[in-house]
Structure formats: structure tokens, C-alpha cells
């Protein structure tokens, strides 16, 4: 069985190459009057390591945004088709319809999901919590100060149903803490009882960035220890030319390894981004590329495949029921 290598492990391995290897070499050959040179090289390695982590976080955030947007748009297409197949349906019918609920509530990541609301009064038409179905939520949501950040994202579509809204926001948890989430909200093309209906897809940002966030802590601790080791290890003396030569080699190795690592991470993300863009256009014939990284990015690829298969199945079921 092929060993699984996670993004977390890759980033830790990169950290070792960026810091311990080149800085250990510098510490071995350093001389007292070249101590500043060694520390400068260590700081450069830290900057480059931080930059790789930041780029990784941004890439994963971008991929997460695309996944959430695509789920909202694909769910919208399913519901528009349902309404077209049931032209006399009412808002109350939507709340009571098991088929509409199954189409309107789609998973987003591990903890997220889609919900369907009546735009003008935020009436819940489809929601995993059955206790909320049919309830008008506008006053309770807009009047709750804890929901101000959430309302900031939703308000764009509330004021203009022809415009999609999206963004990051702070979500209040039961223990009075806040978690960062991302939401994409779009409105159906078909009205019911002359009312606009919106689909909102949302999930926690940490689902996409947690591996990198965990590695940030390890990077800081390892770099602090490495810098301290360099300060005490630069006791042996050598020539300035030797120090310069080793430093140049170390910097060269850092640059090459960083480039290779960054490409290995961003290439599959770019491939999945292309697939996501095609899905957002409603192209269900798109093929999800095989990702061979054997880490969380491969998991996202498999999620794409599962979502695509589920949506294709639901569309087929919906067509069969209405024949």
C-alpha cells in the first residue's frame, strides 16, 4: 500500500531543507567574524519558509472559495430545474417537499451545507435543522449583533436579488467564540409566488487551511531553535571565501527546493481550479484529473468526483420522476 504523505508532512520536510540543512553547514564552517553572515542566511531561510507557507494558505483558500461557489451554483441549477418541472408549486409546497429538501441541502466540505431561503424575509425553505423550516428569520437575524458580520455578506443579495454575494465572515459559536467561515449566495432564475429564492453555500475556512496553520507553529519553533543553535555553533574559524562559497550553495539549494515544492503544491490546485470553473458554468461532463500527491489535495479531488457523481445522479432521478 502506498504511503500517504500529507501537506503537513511536506511542509515540515521543506522546513528541514530550508533551515537545518543549510544552517548546519554554515554553523560547521562559520568563523567568529562571519557570525553575522550566518545569521543573515538563517533569517533569509526563515523569510523564504514563511513565504512558501503564505502561498500555500492562499492557494488553499482560493480552492476552498471555488468549491463553495460551485456547490451554490450547482444546487441553484438543480432547484431551478425542479421549479420548471413543477410550475404550480408554492412556497409552502417547497417546505413540505422531501425532493426539494434533498436537492436544496447539499454537503459542503465536512461540516458545511447549502440552505435555501426566501430573499425578502429570510424564510427558511430548505435547511438541515427541520425546526427552522418555514420560519421567517429576517428580524431575528438582522437584529442580532452577533450576526452582524454574517449579515454584511448576505445584505448585498438581500438589497439586490440579481447580484450574487460572497465573502468571509465571523460565525458565532455556542461557547461565545467566533470561527471564520466563507459563504457564497446566489438567487434562482425562477421565482415562486413572485418571490426571489436564494441558495447559500458555506463552511469553515479551517477545513481547507488547517494543515498549513498547524505547520506555522512548527516552523516558528524549529526556526527559533535553529537560530539559537547557529549562534552557539559558529565558533570554528575558516576563510571568508569558504564561508561565502558555502553560503551561496545553501541559498541556491533553498531556492531550488522552494521552487520544486511550490510547483508540486500549486500544479494540482490549478488543475482542480480549472475543473471548478467549468463546473460553475454547468458543464457536468468535465473530467476531474487524477491527483497523485496522496494528500489532502487528493482528498479534495475525490470530493469533486463524489459531488459531480451525486449531482448527476440527482438530475437523472429528477428527470425520471417527472417523465
Q: Hey, where are the domains in the chain?
A: 7-58+211-311, 70-207
Confidence band, pLDDT 50/70/90 cuts, at residue 135: very high
Cα angle vertex 57, ends 291, 301, to 5°?
20
CA distance 247 to 22: 8
Residue whose entry in the numeric block shows the C-alpha cell 417523465: 323
291: pLDDT confidence band, cut at 50, 70 and 90? confident
- Residue carrying C-alpha cell 458555506: 202
Superfamily of domain covering 70-207: PAS domain (3.30.450.20)
Length in residues, the chain: 323
The H or E element spanning position 125 is strand 123-126
pLDDT for 237 equals: 45
Enter the C-alpha cell of residue 48.
523564504
Question: Could you read off the pLDDT of 67-121 as tens digits, one per residue?
Answer: 899 999 999 999 999 999 999 999 999 999 999 999 999 999 888 999 999 999 9
Amino acid at each position: 500500500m502506498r504511503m500517504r504523505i500529507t501537506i503537513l508532512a511536506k511542509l515540515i520536510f521543506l522546513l528541514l531543507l530550508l533551515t537545518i540543512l543549510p544552517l548546519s553547514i554554515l554553523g560547521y564552517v562559520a568563523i567568529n567574524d562571519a557570525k553575522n553572515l550566518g545569521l543573515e542566511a538563517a533569517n533569509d531561510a526563515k523569510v523564504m519558509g514563511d513565504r512558501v507557507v503564505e502561498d500555500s494558505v492562499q492557494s488553499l483558500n482560493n480552492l476552498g472559495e471555488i468549491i463553495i461557489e460551485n456547490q451554490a451554483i450547482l444546487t441553484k441549477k438543480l432547484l431551478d430545474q425542479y421549479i420548471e418541472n413543477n410550475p404550480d408549486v408554492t412556497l409552502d409546497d417547497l417546505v413540505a417537499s422531501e425532493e426539494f429538501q434533498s436537492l436544496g441541502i447539499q454537503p459542503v466540505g465536512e461540516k458545511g451545507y447549502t440552505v435555501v431561503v426566501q430573499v425578502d424575509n429570510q424564510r427558511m425553505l430548505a435547511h438541515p435543522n427541520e425546526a427552522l423550516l418555514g420560519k421567517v428569520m429576517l428580524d431575528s437575524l438582522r437584529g442580532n449583533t452577533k450576526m452582524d458580520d454574517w449579515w454584511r455578506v448576505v445584505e448585498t443579495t438581500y438589497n439586490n436579488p440579481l447580484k450574487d454575494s460572497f465573502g468571509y465572515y465571523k460565525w458565532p459559536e455556542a461557547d461565545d467564540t467566533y470561527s471564520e467561515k466563507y459563504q457564497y449566495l446566489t438567487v434562482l432564475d425562477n421565482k415562486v409566488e413572485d418571490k426571489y429564492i436564494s441558495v447559500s453555500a458555506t463552511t469553515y475556512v479551517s477545513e481547507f487551511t488547517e494543515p498549513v496553520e498547524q505547520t506555522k507553529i512548527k516552523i516558528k519553533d524549529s526556526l527559533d531553535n535553529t537560530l539559537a543553535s547557529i549562534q552557539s555553533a559558529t565558533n570554528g574559524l575558516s576563510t571568508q571565501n569558504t564561508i561565502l562559497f558555502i553560503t551561496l550553495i545553501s541559498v541556491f539549494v533553498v531556492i531550488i527546493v522552494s521552487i520544486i515544492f511550490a510547483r508540486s503544491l500549486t500544479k494540482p490546485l490549478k488543475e482542480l481550479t480549472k475543473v471548478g470553473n467549468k463546473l460553475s458554468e454547468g458543464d457536468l461532463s468535465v473530467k476531474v484529473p487524477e491527483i497523485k500527491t496522496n494528500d489532502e489535495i487528493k482528498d479534495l479531488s475525490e470530493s469533486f468526483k463524489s459531488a459531480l457523481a451525486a449531482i448527476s445522479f440527482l438530475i437523472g432521478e429528477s428527470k425520471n420522476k417527472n417523465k
